Amino acid sequence: MAESEKQLFGEDPTAVRETDHYAMEYVRSFVEKWDDLIDWDSRAESEGDFFIQHLKERGAREVLDVATGTGFHSVRLLNAGFEVVSVDGSPQMLTKAFENGQKYGGHILRTCQADWRWLCRDVRGQYDAIVCLGNSFTHVFGERERRKILAEFYAALRHDGVLILDQRNYDALLEGKYSGSHDYYYCGDGVDVEPEHVDEGLARFRYDFHDGSTYYLNMFPLKKDYTRRLMSEVGFQRIETYGDFRENYREDYEPDFFIHVAEKAYQE
């Protein structure tokens, strides 16, 4: 494997807790495999029209997909008639997303490489909605950075805009509960996803593909109520949190993922 294709975590991978590192984690060979991990058809089936419905209910037309990845949501939203600008900090991801745009809908994606920390410097205009999906916000390690990023998202929204941001259920993970189900998000059968190390400041996940290749992602274990609090402190007025796309999940049901729908419109 060429040097540029290797993920580099150094001698102590659990010491890597920096926001900048995400760009080095999404090496080209991992990006090439990302769609095996998520399996577009199964993922579309598992989430249904959840995001499309929420956006339509709020009259959203222009959407900024800030964590485009390989383009799954950008393409779904374009196919549903939204205008989408596709942002990501990783050029490898955007290249793949561009290919997928053509492959899955004949779209020429409007892509923009930008880091969330200085989003408004690089992305002009305001949007009706921002989507930050696929457990992406977890790549941010510093609290000041999280606040800055949420403030950048807030600024890039129109006065009545909505931010939809999701995350893994780290509350459960921190309590030692992990479900490796392929029901949501990572729906592909050709890969096993396991947490290799978990503490209050790091969740390091291992992705074993059935072709024998292995990749890792180092992420910050965001607790659900902490994310909600940051959103509220940055100015979002109403935040609804869904568990695995359900509003009323049972008390005894531990969702794999949470989805926060945060509205900017001022409420007395």
Ligand X SMILES: C[S@@+](CC[C@H](N)C(=O)[O-])C[C@H]1O[C@@H](n2cnc3c(N)ncnc32)[C@H](O)[C@@H]1O
Q: Does residue 77 interact with ligand X by CB under 6 A?
A: no
If you ran DSSP here, which 8-state letter would residue 192 be given? E
Q: How far is CA 84 from CA 14, 49, 80, 200, 248, in A?
A: 36, 17, 11, 35, 30
Q: Does residue 69 interact with ligand X by CB under 6 A?
A: yes
Q: Applying CB under 6 A, which of residues 30, 60, 89, 152 lies at the interface with ligand X? A: 89
Q: Does residue 76 interact with ligand X by CB under 6 A?
A: no
Q: Applying CB under 6 A, which of residues 30, 40, 51, 72 lies at the interface with ligand X? A: 72
Q: Does residue 88 interact with ligand X by CB under 6 A?
A: yes
Handedness of CA 130, 40, 18, 110 (dihedral sign): negative
Pairing state of beta strands 62-65 and 83-88? parallel
Q: Applying CB under 6 A, which of residues 67, 130, 187, 234 lies at the interface with ligand X? A: 67
Q: Does residue 205 interact with ligand X by CB under 6 A?
A: no
Name the amino acid, one letter, at 59.
G
Q: How far is the CB of 265 from ligand X (least distance, A)?
A: 25
- Binding segment for ligand X among 3-11, 65-73, 151-159, 259-267 (CB under 6 A)? 65-73
Q: How far is the CB of 260 from ligand X (least distance, A)?
A: 15
Q: Does residue 139 interact with ligand X by CB under 6 A?
A: yes
- Binding segment for ligand X among 82-90, 195-203, 241-249, 251-259 (CB under 6 A)? 82-90
Q: How far is the CB of 195 from ligand X (least distance, A)?
A: 15
Contact set for ligand X, span 7-46 (CB under 6 A): 19, 22, 26, 38
Q: How far is CA 216 from CA 20, 65, 152, 226, in A?
A: 15, 24, 28, 25
The residue number whose beta carbon is nearest to ligand X equals 134
Q: How far is the CB of 266 from ligand X (least distance, A)?
A: 28
Q: Does residue 161 interact with ligand X by CB under 6 A?
A: no
Q: Does residue 93 interact with ligand X by CB under 6 A?
A: yes
- Kindly state the tokens that stand for 230: 């940051």
Q: How far is CA 96 from CA 45, 101, 109, 209, 265, in A?
A: 22, 9, 11, 19, 35
**Exposed / middle / buried, residue 192 (Cβ in 10 Å: 0-12, 13-18, 19+):** middle
Count interface residues toward ligand X (CB under 6 A). 19
What value does the CA radius of gyration of the chain take, rounded to a whole number of Å? Answer: 17
Q: CA 215 from chain center: how many Å?
A: 18
84: CB partners within 8 A, 6+ apart: 62, 63, 64, 65, 74, 77, 78, 109, 110
Q: Does residue 116 interact with ligand X by CB under 6 A?
A: yes
Closest CB to ligand X among residues 60, 67: 67
Spatial contact of 89 and 108, defined as CB atoms under 8 Å apart: no
Q: Does residue 207 interact with ligand X by CB under 6 A?
A: no
Which residues contribute to the site for ligand X (CB under 6 A)?
19, 22, 26, 38, 67, 69, 72, 88-90, 93, 115-117, 133-136, 139
